[in-house]
Amino acid sequence: MTGRATAKPVPIDLTRHTELIAGAREFLRVWASEDGPVTCFVNPVSIGPDPAAFGLAMVDCIRHAAAAYARAVDIPEKAALARIWQGLDAERAAPTTDAVEATPPVAAKRGDPIVSLVPKQDPRR
């Protein structure tokens, strides 16, 4: 990952979007380490039992990300979307990290559906 990262999560301020997300349920949180792996927390209960719903949500997210990149770095949205798809295809073809469940699961309670996936640590580090 490139860009400016911090040692702790910095929440995205959603106060201006309260009405937009009213009644919605969070199903994903993602953090990126500078020049390193991504850590994800997924709650599939929020989007339903069919994993295809997660796929649909990810495509929506990718399209929103293309719009955000277009505004943030002043490139055409179509170019941003094409570049995102290139990165996605590259990662699918040759994953850069193996995901493993966090041990112990973070804030896990009996029956907690949230799965935290963290990158497998390189034993050479």
What's the pLDDT at 41? 85
User: In the structure encoding, which two tokens stand for residue 114, read together?
Assistant: 């949230």
Digit-coded pLDDT (tens) for 56-115 = 999 999 999 999 999 999 999 999 999 999 999 999 999 887 776 665 545 545 556 656
44 within 8 A of 51, measured Cβ to Cβ: yes
In whole angstroms, give the CA distance from residue 71 to residue 58: 20
Query: Measured between alpha carbons, how far is 71 from 49 in angstroms, rounded to an integer?
Result: 35
**Can you tell me which residue has the tokens 């770095």?**
73
pLDDT, tens digit (0-9, with 9 covering 90-100), for 8-23: 667 889 999 999 999 9
Place of tokens 């041990």: 103
Q: How confident is the model at residue 55 (pLDDT cuts 50, 70, 90)?
A: very high
Helix (H) or strand (E) holding 101: strand 99-101
Helix (H) or strand (E) holding 42: strand 38-42
Percentage, residues of the chain above pLDDT 90:
46
Specify the pLDDT at position 9.
65
4 pLDDT above the threshold of 60: no
- For residues 36 and 62, the model is more confident at 62
The residue written with tokens 């949500």 in the block is 57
Tokens at 88, concatenated? 């996605």
Taking phi first (over 0 means left), then psi (-120 to 50 degrees means alpha), and beta for anything else, what does residue 111 get? left
- Residue 82 has phi, psi (to 5 degrees) of -60, -40
One-letter amino acid for residue 37 of the chain = P
**pTM of this structure:** 0.72
Q: What is the mean pLDDT of residues 30-35?
A: 82
